[in-house]
Amino acid sequence: MATHIDYELQDEVKLKYPKKYKVYLLNDDYTSMDFVIDILISIFHKTYEQAENIMLEVHKKERGLCGVYTHEIAETKVMQVIKKARDNGFPLKATMEEE
């Protein structure tokens, strides 16, 4: 005896995109402007001009937006900034917050 099974499918499949996180560099009185520019170019892949603009934003507004990423990428970038800063004797900090 064969069993017949009907499956009901929703007409619409809703995709849920991953949350995005903004990564910011925070201003301090010790980290050099050149080092901040280096971080922005090496970790965030900014051009020199973009890096200079973000560095000035950090300097004037106490923080500057470096980019918007998925959680894992944002977290990795924050850790890379902190490690590179410590390795070079700077107290530079990066934070991430949900978009």
Q: Each residue of 28-72: pLDDT tens digit?
A: 999 999 999 999 999 999 999 999 999 999 999 999 999 999 999
pTM for the structure as a whole: 0.83
Average pLDDT over residues 72-93: 98
Q: Mean pLDDT score of the chain, rounded to an integer?
A: 92
Model confidence at 76: pLDDT above 90: yes
User: Can you tell me the distance from the alpha carbon of 42 to that of 77, in angstroms, rounded to the nearest whole number?
Assistant: 11
| 8 Å CB contact between 19 and 71 | yes
Q: Which two tokens stand for residue 97?
A: 């917050």
Q: Which domains does the chain have, with CATH numbers?
A: 20-98 (3.30.1390.10)
Give the model's pLDDT for residue 8. Answer: 63
User: Can you tell me the distance from the alpha carbon of 63 to that of 27, in angstroms, rounded to the nearest whole number?
Assistant: 6
- Coil/strand/helix, residue 87: helix
